[in-house]
Every structure is written in structure tokens, then in C-alpha cells.
Structure 1
Amino acid sequence: MLYRIRHHGNTAYLFGTIHVGRPGFFPLEPQVTRALESAGKLVLELDVRDDAPFQAALKKHGLYMGDDTIEHHLSSANLAQLRNTLRQFDIPFENIRHMKPWIVANLLIGLDLERNGYRRSDGIEMFLLSFASKQSKTVQELESAELQMALFDSMPDATQEQYLRENLAELGDGEAMKRSQALIDAWAKADSKALDDIVRELPKEKTATAEFTRSVLLDKRNPEMANKIEALLRNDKTSFVGVGLLHLVGERGLPNLLRERGYEVEKLY
């Protein structure tokens, strides 16, 4: 999905990304590469080439300190399910013992995607960064690793445990990959209806994962992202903004928020 946002002669292209990919996804559509070529600046949620901020935020928000470990935060049933899932992924329990439940869940989801041929090294952001580097474009971040991890860490202990439990169940029955595949397929086909359906279903799902995704990862971040895009439109002639695909869809998605604020929003495809 690619949008063109205009304001007083300035333009921001808004492109929906997915954070994993396959080599066959590239090159991207000509409309995307032309928009990126014309932009003076590439703007992403994070510059994923820089690992240091991620590691610092991980230590602060994703790990237990001292003698505290994940065993102290899970019921015996959930701990047993976690150990079982770790064996299926050939991960020693000791490797994740000091990690909080939310980051263990996200780690396992990422490994499940890798097993099915999708890797972060082939993610859309990496392609955009490589493209921009060849043209010596400025790269700017919309957010920070600190912000993103703090949002996950804001979940209370009980919610983190529920988040892990739900994701372990979906990893076990294949539902996790089914959901990921549906999103990837919708991105690959530029299927707006499928994407709208995914976002529309979130409030109907009475799970910690769905509620956190909707209320925190989308509804809380989108207005702040819109503020940053407004600043780009005030200060930059042309910029190219790549953000996670789900930030672009639904009534509270970025295109609608910017349209409500009076900007000219045109969907290119």
C-alpha cells in the first residue's frame, strides 16, 4: 500500500511494510522505487541496522535482573508449556531464563516465521535502507527501540503471562503462522479489504494479544506517528515513510488520521 500525502507543495510518500520477507519479494513495484528515488529522506520506524539501541532497550525492558527469572512469573502449567515449545524449537531453557514473557513470545514468533522461510534480513526495511544507502539519502527514525520495548514492558505481569500463553497456544496449533501468512499475503497482493478485515476483527477478539495490538501497538502509536509525518510535511520537500502495514489501515490508520487533519491524501495503489 502506497499513499501520497501533500501539504503546501511538500510531499510525503507513505508505504506499508512487513518486517520479514523473502528474496522473491524484490524488487518492489515501480511506483515504490520511483517514490523512493524522488525523496530526499527515508523515514522508518527504526533504523534496524543499528543494533546498539536495541540491545540497550532489551536489557532495560526485556530482561529480569539479578536472581529474578521467568519461572517466578509463570504458573506451573504455563511454564511446562513453555518448556515444551522451547524443545520443539531446540532452544535450551537457560537461553531464555532471564527474559520476560513478552519477549520470549516475540522471539518464538520470529523463529516460527524463519522456519517457514521468512527472515528479518529480507524484510522490507532492509531493502529500503539498502536502496537509500546507494543513493546517499538521509535516514530518519519515527520512533526508537526504547519506546517500542517500553510499550511491551508496560504490560502488567498477569497480562504478559497471558500474552505468552496465547502465543504458545497459537504456535502449537499453527494459528500463529496462519495469521502471519494472511498478513504477508495481503501485503503481497495489496489486498486492502483483507487488511481492513484483520484490523476490524481485533476488537472482537477477547485476548490479551489482540487488545494490546489494537490499543497500544496501533491506537496509541498512530497519532504520534501522524505528528511526526506532519513535521516532515512542514520541513521537507519530499520524504518517503515506511511503517508497518497495519498502521495504514482502519479508521484510526495513518491515512485517515492525516486526512482528518486536513492533508491531501491519495492512495496510489
Structure 2
Amino acid sequence: MKLLHRLVPWLLALLFAFTGPARAQYTLCPPAAKPPTEEQQATGLREARDRGMLWRATKDGRTSWLYGTIHVGRLAWAFPGPTVRDALGRSDTLALELDPQDPAVMVKMQRYMARDPKLTLTPALDRRLRAQLQKACMPPALADQMAPEMLGATLTVTAVRREGFDALYGIDFSLGQAARALGKPVQSLETVETQLGELISDNEDDLRANMAQMLDDLEQGNVIPQMLRLARAWEAGRDEELANYTEWCRCVETPREKARLRRLIEGRNAGLADGIDRLHAGGQSVFAAVGGLHLVGPEGLPALMARRGYTVTREPLPR
């Protein structure tokens, strides 16, 4: 489960709460991603094409939408295409796993991400973590401030920066901005506790085992190929490839990893489906945008919504 330590888009934003603009001290680093300018936004929206996967879920005379996202992307990916924009426009509410623009969410996330001094790494793991932070152009002192597993997740996200990908260009942010510009409310389907409960260990043995796995993947160069294949499968809407993720990622091999993956993905799907169903039953047409891996397979959200009495159909996206 090394890669699937949640690729939440706000990880990088929260780094600045700990570090400030410390990146300038490094050389040979990829250029820092910047928010799109007004001109880039206008061009991006004008030229945007549909990416990802979209389903209709109809019940009681209303249609809601299930959209699979990815939490890192290229600049061009940050802008929803015409079919996705149309579905969002026809919805009453945008529902995200967590709303990264909600100040209350960010405050709680920052508190959760702070290091627990009672849980320590071995000296060898600590050295390896600090070396990876320096390699990723981040201050090694972050290891004294942030939870190690959150740093591991952040290093996973930033591993593909040199390939032109960045969490700043995850489509979740753009959808939130678009919904607010249209005057639509944005709802969180989960809590910070639910989102991070499986990511941050509450005992030292699990912490050290998880960090050893993450650092092995980073040091052995496994992360970048995994993330690039995942990103390209999402861009092309290859949900079957995403559904078979565990067969090709070489990252879910032990019984412990398999059990944790089930809790991280399938274990949260029922709660996500309940949240969407609750909003829909309350009279709202919902545009639910969640990580693409939550929408594939027999326990994915389309299957779960069908079991709740929805008529679920895949919406073709022009490529």
C-alpha cells in the first residue's frame, strides 16, 4: 500500500504551514508549480478536454453524477472538460471526499499531520527519511515537525514533479473553484478522522513498518513508474486498468498490505455511497468527485449505488 497512502491534494499546501518558502535554498530542483494565471485559466478552459471517468446515477427522477478524479496532474489537466463541466452545471451540490478549501478542514488536517513525539523512527529510518526530503528539495527538518507517514505520502506525491505533475494541478481544486463560481455549495463526504485514520499509525511498530515500505519504494525508484501509469490510465479513462491496479503496481503483496488496502479503498466506499445517497435523497442532484480508485470494481461506488436502487450508466467522455 505504499502508493495508495492517500494522494490528498492539500498535502503540499499544508507543507507551507510548517516550512514557509524554504525551498529557495536548494539547487537543481524542478521549478515550483504556480497557480494558473488568468490567461492560463482562460486558455485552459477553452482548450480543456474530458479526462477521467463519469457515471450517471438516477433515482426518484433526479440524476446525480459520480466522477473519478486524480489528485495530481499536469497544468492542462486542472481544467474540467465540457462534458464534466456540463454535469457539474446541472448539479445542485459538489461533494468531495474532503473540501480542501474549507478552513475548518485545513486546521484539523494540520493538527493531524503534526508529529507525535511519542512515536519515533529508528535512527536508520530517520536518516533515510531526511535524505529523501533533501532529495525532494524539502527541508530535512520537516522530519521533526510532521508525522512521518504524512511526509512519506508527500514524498510520493512530489516524486513526479520532475515529470511535470503536481498536486497543485489536481482537478479537485478546480472543481471546487468552479462550483463556488456557480454559486453551488461544496460538501465533504468524509471527516478528517476518516480520511487519515488509516494513514497515521497509533503505535511504533506499525509506523516503522509503514515507513520502511515507503522508503524502500522511493529509494528503489518504484514510485514514479507506478504513479505515471496510474495517471495515464486515469487520463484515458481506462477503468479496467485501474480496477486491476493491484496486479501491476507491485505494491500490494503481503496479507497486511492487502488488508490495509481494503480498509483504505473498499472500507471507505460504503461511507462515501451513504453520503451521496443522503444528499440525493434530500432532494439534491449531486456531483460527487472522488479518487478514481473508489469508482472501479465490484465494490466501487457505481456498483454500490446500483445496489441502493440507482440506475447507473457510464457517461461517454470524448477524448
Q: TM-score, normalised by structure 2?
A: 0.75
Cα deviation for residue 253 of structure 1 reads 0.8
Deviations 1:107-136 (A, max 9, x none): 211222333322222111111112212211
Q: 1:231 aligns with which of 261, 268, 278?
A: 278
User: Which range moved further: 1-10 or 148-157?
Assistant: 148-157
Distance 1:47 1:204, change over 3 A: closer
Larger RCO (CA under 8 A, 6+ residues apart): 1
For residues 160 and 96 of structure 2, the distance between their equivalents in structure 1, rounded to whole angstroms, comes to 22
Query: In the alignment, which of 59, 64, 68 is matched to residue 12 of structure 1?
Result: 64
**Map of 2:243 onto structure 1:** 196
Structure 1: gaps of 5 or more residues: none
Q: CA deviation at 1:155?
A: 5.2
Is this contact kept in 1: 2:246–2:252, CA < 8 A? no
What's the secondary structure of 2:159's corresponding residue? helix
Structure 2 CA distance, aligned partners of 1:169 and 1:100? Answer: 18
SS class of match (1:165): helix
CA distance in 1, matches of 2:178, 2:156: 28
Tell me the distance in 2 between the aligned counterparts of 1:35 and 1:15.
10
Q: Residue deviations 1:168-207, cap 9 Å, x none?
A: 1211222111111111101100012211110566895217
* Deviation of 1:23 (Å): 1.8
SS at match of 2:132: helix
Q: 1:208 to 1:52 in 2, by over 3 A?
A: farther
The structure 1 residue matched to 2:222, chosen from 175, 180, 183, is: 175
Matched, 1:206 2:254: yes
Map 1:85-96; keep pairs closer than 5 Å: 85-96=132-143
Calculate the TM-score normalised by the size of structure 1: 0.88
Q: Could you list the runs of 5+ residues in structure 2 that have no partner in the other structure?
A: 1-52
- CA deviation map 1:221-241 (0-9, x unaligned): 101111111112212342211
Alpha-carbon distance in 2 for matches of 1:199, 1:143: 24
The alignment covers a number of residue pairs equal to 263
Structure 1 pair 53/29, CA: closer, same or farther in 2 (3 Å)?
closer
Q: Is contact 1:104–1:164 with CA below 8 Å preserved after alignment?
A: no
What RMSD, in angstroms, separates the aligned Cα atoms of the two structures? 2.3
Match of 1:242 in 2: 289
The offset of 1:216, in angstroms, is 2.0
**Does 85-94 or 118-127 show the bigger shift?**
85-94
Asked if 1:46 is matched to 2:94, the reply is no
2:80 corresponds in structure 1 to 28
Which stretch of the first structure deviates more once superposed, 104-113 or 217-226?
104-113
* Mapped partners of 1:91, 1:196: distance in 2: 33
User: For 1:204 and 1:163, how far apart are their aligned partners in 2?
Assistant: 12
Counterpart of 2:126? 79
Which residue number corresponds to residue 152 of structure 2? 105
Please list, as runs of the form range in 1=range in 2, the aligned pairs for 1:124-135 lying within 5 A after superposition: 124-135=171-182
| Cα deviation 1:51-74 (Å, max 9, x = unaligned) | 442333332x33335xx27xx622
